[in-house]
Chains A and B, each alone.
Chain A
């Protein structure tokens, strides 16, 4: 069986929930498709190393979350560079005055950029809570931990993000 065919077994079992998770974080169908494929191929390689008995679902969520947040982080870097470039190239041009949607989008990407910098467990727990709007029991099920641990991780993550955003 080829790499791709093995990855397709993961796609059959977890494709729908992972695609939803990724799409809710990145809010872009084309990007979500690339990220889902990347997640499956990376997960497949990781699982080959881990062997049987590994919590496949928790692994997949971990990789999907990290891959999606990395994507947003590079998007935000790219955007900052473009903005800088635009300012330098055309200092005379006025920024468009009705840029509210664009600003909201920038804030969203910046927030997820901050999420990307959280410790692993907090990062995963908060994406499931905020992007997927899941209950703690369900978050625990997907991450392979207790609901109490899921709640504590979301709490810690929220606290840190508040500090980040306040700065």
Chain B
């Protein structure tokens, strides 16, 4: 990027953030977001802070997602930004089948404790493999907490990239999925998992 472009970007962002302060009092590091309007699994909303990608949600449309961000991150400016283009390109490659793994900074500070351990265990499941709810609960340190593990996966803030879809029931059926079961089925087939 040329120095001119960088200077312009910084100046433009300062103008927007100052205006935010004047209108609403929201200040500090903004939550940046981007949309992916037509993926094979519908509309996706992405949001990231300084530390990395914080949300990847299945959403109805941009306005709904923006409203949700305003409610959920009440103290921070919300800003549509092309800083998330890297994430979008990684997802494009994923959906195209060119590259099914992600090398992106993910920020799980919206979850903690057992829930966070479940999600970190899910990240380690390789493409093409699945675990059961009991197995992932065990990997997170409590084999008897399969129901709590299910809740943690259901509330996964960074869908697809934290692959909560790679957890299925021990009888081989799909279990649940926040984005809808057809999405879970699509993702697993896309990753080459043979479903019963």
Q: Which residues of A contact B (CB under 8 A)?
A: 4-5, 7-9, 11-16, 19-20, 23, 29, 32-33, 36-37, 40
Contact = CB atoms under 8 A, between A and B. Distances in A.
A12 B66 contact: yes
B12 A12 contact: no
Question: Secondary structure of the A side of the interface?
Answer: helix
A43 to B, nearest CB: 13
B19 A33 contact: yes
Interface residues of B, number: 26
23 contacts: A4-B23, A5-B23, A5-B24, A8-B24, A9-B70, A11-B20, A12-B33, A12-B66, A12-B77, A12-B78, A13-B62, A13-B63, A13-B66, A16-B13, A16-B80, A19-B16, A20-B8, A23-B12, A23-B15, A29-B11, A36-B16, A37-B19, A37-B22
Interface of B: 8, 11-16, 18-20, 22-24, 26, 33, 62-63, 66-67, 69-70, 77-81
Most buried by A among B12, B20, B69: B12
A33 B22 CA distance: 10
A40 B70 CA distance: 17
Nearest to B66: A12
Contact of B15 (A8, A14, A29): A29
Contacts of A16: 12-13, 16, 79-81
Given A33-B15, A36-B15, A12 B8 contact: no
Nearest to A13: B80
A115 B62 CA distance: 34
A19 B81 CA distance: 13
B46 to A, nearest CB: 14
Contacts of B66: 9, 12-13
Given A19-B15, A19-B16, A29-B11, A12 B80 contact: yes
Given A16-B79, A16-B81, A11 B23 contact: yes
Given A5-B23, A9-B67, 7 more contacts: A8-B23, A8-B26, A9-B63, A13-B63, A14-B80, A29-B14, A29-B15
A56 to B, nearest CB: 10
B75 to A, nearest CB: 13
Contacts of A8: 20, 23-24, 26, 70
B78 to A, nearest CB: 4
A5 B23 CA distance: 7
A18 B166 CA distance: 42
A37 B79 CA distance: 15
Contacts of A4: 23-24
Contact of A33 (B18, B77, B79, B80): B18
A6 to B, nearest CB: 10
A7 B78 CA distance: 12
- A-B CB proximity, top 5 nearest: A15-B16, A12-B78, A19-B15, A4-B23, A19-B12
